[in-house]
Structure 1
Amino acid sequence: MFDLGHLDLIALLWFSAAWLGFGWLTDSSPYGRSSLTRAMEEHRRAWMREMLKREVRIIDTQIMGSLQNGTAFFASTSLIAIGAAFTLLSQADRLVEVFRDLPIHVGPRREEIELKVLILAAIYGYAFFKFGWAYRLFNYSAILIGAVPLPPFADQAAAEKAAARAADMQIIAARHFNWGLRAFFFSIAFLGWFVNAWVLIGTTTFILLVLLRRQYLSRAKAAAEG
């Protein structure tokens, strides 16, 4: 049985704190109000308000199709990643030899490699469930968009309420999609643990800084707010 050392535990705690903390920061904290994610949520609401003015909503259905296809792609990719991770389990001995031959003199044991691969597979499994649920919610959102009455045939207040309902479903779906995407990003950081705990700490910090920059200091955020 492989026992984690103190440094490995610290690295895993930092990895978990960075992942969960970033999600809380952008989704739930007061600082999230100035993030790219929140800016796009407001644009989703604006999209639904504009849709109310259109009698022909072909463009809206096309946008929904694009969102669903993108989510389905990532869900399929997650399944491929899970399969690849379990394939690595059968190659644990080979991986030990590969790491021992590296110039940085990494010498992990078989049990250590297997544990890390299983955690990596769990991360991809989590991503699959998030993408799968986001895909389902985008389907629900499409139904709610279809249920928004056309301007000439509905009370204005009822139509606005229906559009707000569709926007809320869109936002919930997007949040689940974002959590799946973050799992992909942090899985890249997790690969650092295959080298050692110090590398995991470094890769986690790097990924966290990249994501923070994209949410708060990127050109995308400036464009969304401009």
Structure 2
Amino acid sequence: MGKISSWAQLHHRNVLPLYGIAHDFGHFPSLVTPWVNEGSLNDYIANHHFSLRSKLDIAKQVVAGLGYLHAHAVVHGDISGLNILVDNQGRAQLSDFEVMLLLAEIPTPAQPSGGVRSAVRWTDPQLFEVQTGEINPCIPTEQTDIYSIGSILLQLLTGSIPYYDIKDNIRVLVLSSRGIKPKCPPETSVTSAQWGFIQRCWSPRGLPSRPAIEEIEEFLESELRMAGLP
């Protein structure tokens, strides 16, 4: 239970606390966390109209939470609009980090399975390798988290999920694995500087052009100043 105990010891306003594990809610153990009123970032964006300030503020919160995790040697590994949760005060909290490693630690006779998950839309394609006709997940790193942050920035600034124009997650995975990145939706107010920075987050892993957490924080602060917002 090392990963679970590590999560329970993390304390940051933008990281969802883990209280423990419950075994009485079905066939699989459940992770016990606080209730977050507004649901996922996907829900929050769908249900609210945001100013640029609000969009950048949420982005700063997500990056602050991720910076805290990385500072404590924790890789999230699965950042998406589905597991960034928002409370009724507009506070964003990262959840489900290292979730597959957590599940691996929980004794259970069977593990959940399914098709290609929606989170693939936010995921670094370098996490998937094609071998003998099968797609096998690789180990997430801090840099793969940075790729996902680029996708979150795109979602916040445009209001649309990555690959908004493609409904099938399998098709998204195929395109992503071929190096085809999400489009910027038309008729949005994304600037060339913002779009260029998002694309830097999507640079091939290992290249120096993929920004570090500190540079993302600086970029968001700069965008707030450029917009004349305190």
- State if a TM-score over 0.5 links the two structures: no
Q: Which has the higher contact order (CA 8 A, sep 6+)?
A: 1
| Greater percentage in helix | 1
Q: Which one has a bigger Cα radius of gyration?
A: 1
TM-score of the pair, normalised by structure 2: 0.26
TM-score of the pair, normalised by structure 1: 0.26
| Greater percentage in strand | 2
